[in-house]
């Protein structure tokens, strides 16, 4: 009998190698939280997502690091970390997507959630569920968080280009992003971590829900930055050679 | 005349275009006159959607198999050895080793998650059993024993069919739970003690921390959650042996207080009959009043409170559980206080717990010769210190890996004997 039980348990352990992961950065009280975000909602659905269980998961995991532009944290951002996507309905119509991520801050963990438009992927609202930071109060201010309303992942990728090539461009939705009022030096690392959290959140949402529709913007931004830098380098080189030729002509 | 003008215009256009191209690396794209490298990509906006970009709400729902759709299986390895001061020989240590699993499955319709199922099982090997707070149910399970822990269904928003248009106003309010889960008493409903050595009060207070039950749970309003169940009062076995069972209810602060202020708190009430050899063993008067069966009249009122505070190097957690009530005619008062620290790296932490269980046996208990039991014989109390080294310690308890060293020192015991000290070393992995 015991052998049978042992076999059953180890059989399940083997099965586990092929199973689908689940509970990630979840809302602490989904029904209440989602109702607060979408007062008109009638139901919601939870979906578990994990790199290990999606097609080309390893590639996407590496891409996450590249698109974030920073190393992934070994505690909060592992390959096995599960995520939960909440799809919010009014009747049979999707009215919102909500997703959260954990990022490491200086004071501890920061849980950044966004509710997004199900069609465009634009942020409808960004909020912190948990923020262990000396600057928590400032970062949670409505004025600061409201700056992300309407922002898409494509906007973040475009910002990468504009801040290098044309920092004053009116097309840069994030060009005028301001840190929270009264943010002191101690709070700056957590401000940066919060921005990183929002970016990471949108990158994952793009992958899990929006079929990577922002990916062309990432590619274009990188190509354009490279081209801009190359041209700038050429310009510098030409500027350096010009005085010499002038001297020769003299 | 028109032809030269047209040619001139065309030439100007080409020249302007060439100039634009020189400044704009994206000039070959959809909007050649723009200096915006992303101009051609902006077609993704709703007004200019590409044919293949279907809004999420109109996409067909993916059809996934049972094991691909919100199905989780976790594995677990648990090894613990305990040395007791009372052991006859140093080599007489208690060994508890197990492998286990946990399955969580969620069920959804096209537009709602409607149910979930959770089961935890372990194959445990026990040798030289010792009474310890982390293995209250293990006494009669020497050798190999397969045991289940959680085994329950949750059905969400069960009143939707009768709420009609009002169902949107009651999302999350009427959920139905059926099966075996933590008692709705104290902090256990919101604390996962499945793999930890430190436990909360219920094991010692009732003789079991989980029971079979059915009832409703959800949010009362923005500030309060509720749990309301009929419990079998059987503990481990799904069995009726004449007990009427228990009614249990708990009202607790909504989770937003935990998130925003680090505060969790609840008020609980439990009343009815339960099966408990544990209660009989601890009180001769309960044994007498239960009239030969293991059915114990039970009444408890409980208050619980937990406060988590971030400190510069990590976080501190203060945990408190108090309960007052009766087992048969015995008055019962239990308390548990715990202070925990977790380093910001989440790689190590320590806890100190004080637990005290007082039972006032009534006059004339036959086994005590008709006299009051002395105060020292009515109370079990101990102080427990624990250090944990974490290899993995995910926030959502999805991946855990640790070694714990736990020392329990009894400060009071309900019978006259030398107070014991126990040392436990545990290895645990859950992934």
What DSSP assignment string belongs to chain A?
-HHHHHHHHHHHHHHHTTPPP---S--SSHHHHHHHH-TT--EEEEEEEEGGGSTTHHHHHHHHHHHHTSPPPTTTS-TT-EEEEEEEEETTEEEEEEEEEEEE-SSSEEEEEEEE-TTT--EEEEEEEEE-STTHHHHT-HHHHHTTTT--HHHHHHHHHHHHH-TT-TT-TTTT--PPTT--GGGHHHHHHHHHHHHHHHHHHHHHTSTTTTHHHHHHHHHHHHHHHHHHHHHHHHHHHHHHHHHHH-
Tell me: the pLDDT tens digits for A191-222? Answer: 999 999 999 999 999 999 999 999 999 999 99
**Residue among A131, A80, A130, A125 at smallest CA distance from A98:** A125
Q: Residue A98: name the closest of A74, A127, A70 by CA.
A: A127
Q: Residues A127-155: what's their mean pLDDT?
A: 91
CA nearest to A117 within chain B: B56
Restricting to A residues 173-202, those with a Cβ less than 8 Å away from any Cβ of B are none
Residue bearing the bigger pLDDT, A40 or A12: A40
pLDDT band at residue A170 under the 50/70/90 scheme: confident
pLDDT at B62: 54
Chain B partners of A26 at a C-beta cutoff of 8 Å? 396
Segment 4-23 of chain B within 8 Å of chain A by CB = none
Tokens in use for A78? 């592992």
Confidence of residue A132 (pLDDT cuts 50, 70, 90): confident
User: In the prediction, which pLDDT does B48 show?
Assistant: 41
Class for the domain spanning B69-430: mainly beta
Q: Kindly tell me if the per-residue pLDDT of B34 is higher than 60.
A: no
Is residue B167 predicted with pLDDT exceeding 90? Answer: no
Name which residue leads in pLDDT, B150 or B25.
B150
Q: B5: which residues sit within 8 A by CB, 6+ positions away?
A: none
Q: Stretch B223-227: mean pLDDT, rounded?
A: 95
Comparing alpha-carbon positions, the chain A residue that sits nearest to B396 is A24
Specify the pLDDT at position B43: 60
pLDDT at B13: 42
Which pLDDT belongs to residue B46? 43
pLDDT for A56 equals 92
The mean per-residue pLDDT over the stretch A141-157 comes to 94
**What pLDDT shows up at residue B203?**
92
Answer whether B72 sits within 8 Å of A48, measured CB to CB. yes
The mean pLDDT value for B155-184 works out to: 93
- Chain B nearest C-alpha distance from A245 (Å): 24
B24 pLDDT above the threshold of 60: no
Model confidence at B418: pLDDT above 70? yes
Residues 6 or more apart whose Cβ sits within 8 Å of residue A164? A225, A228, A229
At residue B114, the 3 state secondary structure works out as: strand
Mean pLDDT within B239-247: 92
The Cα B231–Cα B246 span in angstroms is: 5
Distance in angstroms (rounded) separating the CA atoms of residues B118 and B29 = 53
Residue B369 — left, alpha, or beta (φ > 0 → left; ψ -120 to 50 → alpha)?
Answer: left
Closest-CA residue of chain B to A43: B112
| Cα A113 from Cα A126, distance rounded (Å) | 6
CB-CB under 8 Å, A45 with B113: yes
Nearest to B68 among A16, A20, A228 (CB): A20
Q: Are B101 and A12 an interchain contact pair (Cβ–Cβ within 8 Å)?
A: yes
For the purposes of burial, counting CB atoms within 10 Å of the CB of B351, is it exposed (0-12), middle (13-18) or buried (19 or more)?
Answer: buried
Sheet containing A82-90: give its strands across: A43-50, A82-90, A93-104, A109-116, A123-131
Per DSSP, what are the bridge partners of residue A160?
Answer: none
- Give me the DSSP letters along B237-296: S---SS---EEEEEEEE-HHHHHHH-EEEEEEEEEEEEE-HHHHHH-HHHHHHTTTSSEE
8 Å CB contact of B168 and A158 = no
Flag whether pLDDT at B187 surpasses 80. yes
Cβ B296 vs Cβ B233: under 8 Å: no
Integer Cα distance of B289 and B327 in angstroms: 10
CA-angle at B44, arms to B43 and B46, nearest 5°: 100
In sequence order, what are the residues at sequence separation of 6 or more whose Cβ sits closer than 8 angstroms to the Cβ of residue B31?
B39, B40
More confident residue, B116 or B38: B116
Using an 8 Å CB-CB cutoff, list chain A residues near B160.
43
Q: Is B166 helix (H, G, I), strand (E, B) or coil?
A: helix
Highest mean pLDDT: which of A169-178, B123-132, B353-362, B409-418?
B123-132
Q: How far is B275 from chain A (nearest CA, A)?
A: 28
Q: What is the CA radius of gyration of chain A?
A: 23
Task: Say what the pLDDT of residue B247 is.
Answer: 97
The percent of residues in chain B predicted with pLDDT above 90, rounded, is 56
Query: What pLDDT score does B63 carry?
Result: 57
More reliable by pLDDT, B221 or B248 = B248
Whether the per-residue pLDDT at B150 is higher than 50: the answer is: yes
B108–A45 C-beta distance less than 8 A: yes
Q: Is the pLDDT of residue B58 over 50?
A: no
B401 to chain A, any CB pair closer than 8 A? The answer is no
Phi-psi map region of B188: left, alpha, beta (phi>0 left; psi -120 to 50 alpha): alpha
> Would you say residue B65 has pLDDT above 70?
yes
Chain B: give the shortest CA distance to residue A230, in Å: 12
Cα A114 to Cα A124: distance, rounded to the nearest angstrom: 7
B24 backbone φψ class: left, alpha, beta (φ>0; ψ -120 to 50): beta
Q: Any idea which of A168-177, B297-306, B359-368 has the lowest mean pLDDT?
A: B359-368
| Closest CA of chain A from B4, distance in Å | 37
- How far, rounded to the nearest angstrom, does the alpha carbon of residue B107 sit from its chain's CA centroid? 20
What's the mean pLDDT in B299-312? Answer: 94
Q: Contact B38/A217 with Cβ under 8 angstroms?
A: yes
Query: A18-32, B45-59, B99-113: lowest mean pLDDT where?
Result: B45-59
Going by C-alpha positions, the residue among A152, A174, A148 that lies closest to residue A162 is A174
pLDDT value of position B116? 95
B41 touches chain A (CB under 8 A): yes
Say if residue B17's pLDDT is above 80: no
Q: Which two tokens stand for residue B382?
A: 């101990």
Check whether B2 has a pLDDT greater than 80. no
What average pLDDT is seen over chain B? Answer: 84
Predicted local distance difference test score (pLDDT) of residue B278: 80
- Of B36-45, B190-199, B301-310, least confident by mean pLDDT is B36-45
Tokens 């109109």 belong to residue: B58
Q: Which residues pair with B337 in a beta bridge?
A: B320, B354
pLDDT at A21 over 60: no
| B377 band by pLDDT with thresholds 50, 70 and 90 | low
The alpha carbon of residue B403 is apart from the nearest alpha carbon of chain A, in Å, by 17
Structure tokens at B54: 């279907």
Cα distance from N-terminal residue to C-terminal residue, chain B? 82
Residue B42 is predicted with a pLDDT of 73
Residue A159 pLDDT > 60 = yes
Average pLDDT over residues A58-65: 95
Burial class, A123, CB count within 10 angstroms (exposed 0-12 / middle 13-18 / buried 19+): buried
* Mean pLDDT, rounded, for A73-78: 86
For residues B233-246, average pLDDT: 92
Indicate the residue of A28, A118, A227 with minimum beta-carbon distance to B255: A28
With cut-offs at 50, 70 and 90, classify the pLDDT of residue B287: confident
Q: In Å, how far are A26, B5, B219, B220, B230 from B174, measured between CA atoms? A: 20, 77, 8, 9, 15
Give A 19-48 residues with CB within 8 A of chain B. 19-26, 28-32, 34-35, 40-48
Q: Is B391 on the interface with A (CB under 8 A)?
A: no
Average pLDDT over residues B354-369: 71
* The pairing of beta strand B421-430 with beta strand B71-84: antiparallel
Instruction: Give the pLDDT band (50/70/90) at residue A40.
Output: very high
Nearest chain A residue (CA) to B99 = A9
> Region B109-126: what's the mean pLDDT?
94
- Average pLDDT of the residues in A55-63: 94
Q: Tell which residue, A129, A133, A115, A109, has the closest CA to residue A26.
A: A129
Beta-bridged to residue B210, according to DSSP, are: B182
Give the confidence band of B410 by pLDDT, cuts at 50, 70, 90: very high
Task: Kindly give, in sequence order, each residue whose CB lies less than 8 Å from that of residue B411, ignoring residues fewer than 6 positions away.
Answer: B381, B382, B383, B419
Q: Rounded to whole angstroms, how far apart are CA atoms B203 and B181?
A: 13
Q: Torsion over CA of B272, B321, B397 and A195, rounded to 10 degrees?
A: 130
With a cut of 80, say whether residue A45 has pLDDT above it: yes
pLDDT given for residue B84 in this prediction: 92
How many angstroms separate the first and last alpha carbons of chain A? 102
pLDDT higher at B259 or B107: B107
Report, as an integer, the average pLDDT of B239-251.
94
Cβ neighbours around A237 below 10 Å, total: 10
Q: DSSP character for B67?
A: T
User: In the numeric block, which tokens belong to residue B337?
Assistant: 């206080």
Q: B55 or B108: whose pLDDT is higher?
A: B108
Question: A49-63, B235-249, B283-297: which range is least confident on average?
Answer: B283-297
Interface ipTM? 0.75
Output the CA–CA distances (angstroms, integers) from residue B273 to B216, B239, B242, B291, in the order listed.
20, 13, 9, 13
Contact B70/A at CB under 8 A: yes
Asked if B341 and B351 touch (Cβ cutoff 8 Å), the reply is yes
Give the residue on A whose Cα is nearest the Cα of B48. Answer: A120
A170-195: average pLDDT: 90
Return the domain boundaries, chain B: 1-47, 69-430
């Amino acid at each position: 009998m015991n052998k049978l039980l042992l076999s059953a348990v180890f059989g399940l352990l083997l099965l586990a190698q092929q199973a689908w992961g689940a509970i990630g950065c979840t809302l602490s009280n989904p029904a209440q939280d989602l109702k607060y975000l979408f007062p008109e909602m009638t139901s919601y659905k939870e979906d578990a997502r994990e790199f290990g269980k999606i097609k080309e998961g390893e590639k996407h995991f590496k891409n996450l690091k590249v698109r974030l532009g920073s190393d992934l944290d070994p505690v909060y951002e592992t390959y096995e970390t599960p995520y939960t996507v909440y799809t919010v309905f009014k009747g049979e119509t999707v009215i919102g997507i909500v997703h959260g991520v954990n990022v490491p801050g200086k004071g501890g963990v920061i849980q950044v959630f966004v509710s997004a438009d199900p069609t465009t992927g634009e942020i409808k609202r960004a909020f912190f569920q948990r923020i262990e930071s000396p600057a928590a109060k400032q970062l949670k201010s409505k004025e600061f968080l409201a700056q992300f309303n309407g922002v898409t992942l494509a906007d973040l990728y475009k910002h990468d280009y504009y801040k290098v090539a044309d920092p004053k461009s009116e097309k840069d939705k994030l060009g005028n992003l301001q840190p929270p009022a009264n943010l002191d030096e101690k709070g700056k690392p957590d401000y940066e971590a919060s921005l990183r959290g929002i970016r990471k959140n949108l990158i994952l949402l793009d992958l899990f829900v929006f079929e990577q529709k922002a990916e062309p913007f990432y590619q274009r931004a990188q190509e354009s930055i490279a081209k801009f830098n190359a041209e700038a380098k050429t310009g510098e080189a030409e500027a350096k050679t010009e005085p010499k030729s002038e001297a020769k002509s003299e | 005349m028109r032809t030269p003008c047209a040619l001139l215009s065309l030439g100007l256009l080409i020249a302007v275009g060439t100039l634009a191209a020189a400044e704009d690396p994206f000039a070959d794209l959809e909007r050649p006159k723009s200096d915006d490298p992303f101009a051609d990509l902006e077609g993704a906006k709703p007004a200019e959607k590409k044919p293949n970009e279907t809004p999420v709400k109109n996409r067909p729902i993916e059809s996934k198999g049972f094991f691909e759709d919100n199905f989780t299986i976790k594995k677990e390895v648990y090894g613990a050895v305990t040395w007791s001061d009372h052991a006859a020989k140093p080599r007489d240590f208690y060994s508890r080793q197990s492998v286990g699993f946990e399955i969580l499955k969620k069920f959804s319709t096209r537009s709602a998650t409607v149910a979930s199922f959770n089961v935890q099982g372990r194959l445990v090997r026990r040798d030289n059993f010792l009474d310890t707070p982390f293995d209250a149910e293990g006494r009669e399970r020497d050798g190999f024993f397969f045991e289940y822990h959680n085994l329950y269904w949750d059905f969400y928003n069960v009143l939707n069919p009768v709420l009609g248009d009002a169902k949107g106003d009651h999302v999350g309010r009427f959920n139905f739970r059926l099966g075996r889960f933590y008692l709705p008493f104290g902090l256990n409903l919101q604390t996962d003690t499945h793999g930890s050595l430190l436990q909360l009060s219920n094991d010692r207070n009732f003789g079991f921390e989980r029971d079979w039950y059915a009832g409703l749970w959800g949010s009362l309003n923005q500030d309060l959650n509720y749990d309301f169940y009929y419990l079998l009062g059987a503990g481990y076995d799904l069995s009726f042996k004449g007990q009427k069972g228990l009614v249990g209810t708990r009202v607790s602060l909504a989770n937003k207080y935990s998130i925003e202020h680090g505060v969790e708190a609840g008020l609980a009430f439990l009343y009815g009959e339960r099966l408990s050899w544990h209660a009989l063993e601890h009180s001769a008067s309960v044994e007498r009043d239960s009239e030969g069966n293991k059915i114990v009249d039970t009444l408890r009122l409980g208050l619980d409170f937990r406060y988590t505070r971030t400190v510069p190097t990590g976080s501190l957690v203060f945990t408190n559980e108090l309960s007052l009530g009766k087992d048969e005619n015995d008055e019962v008062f239990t308390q548990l206080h715990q202070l925990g620290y977790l380093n910001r790296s989440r790689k190590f932490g320590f806890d100190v717990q004080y637990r005290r269980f007082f039972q006032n046996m009534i006059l004339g208990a036959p086994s005590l010769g008709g006299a009051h039991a002395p105060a020292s014989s009515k109370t079990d109390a101990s102080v427990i210190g624990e250090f944990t080294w974490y290899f993995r310690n995910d926030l959502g308890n999805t991946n855990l890996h640790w070694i714990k060293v736990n020392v329990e020192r009894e400060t009071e015991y309900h019978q006259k004997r030398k107070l014991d000290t126990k040392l436990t070393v545990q290895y645990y992995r859950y992934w």
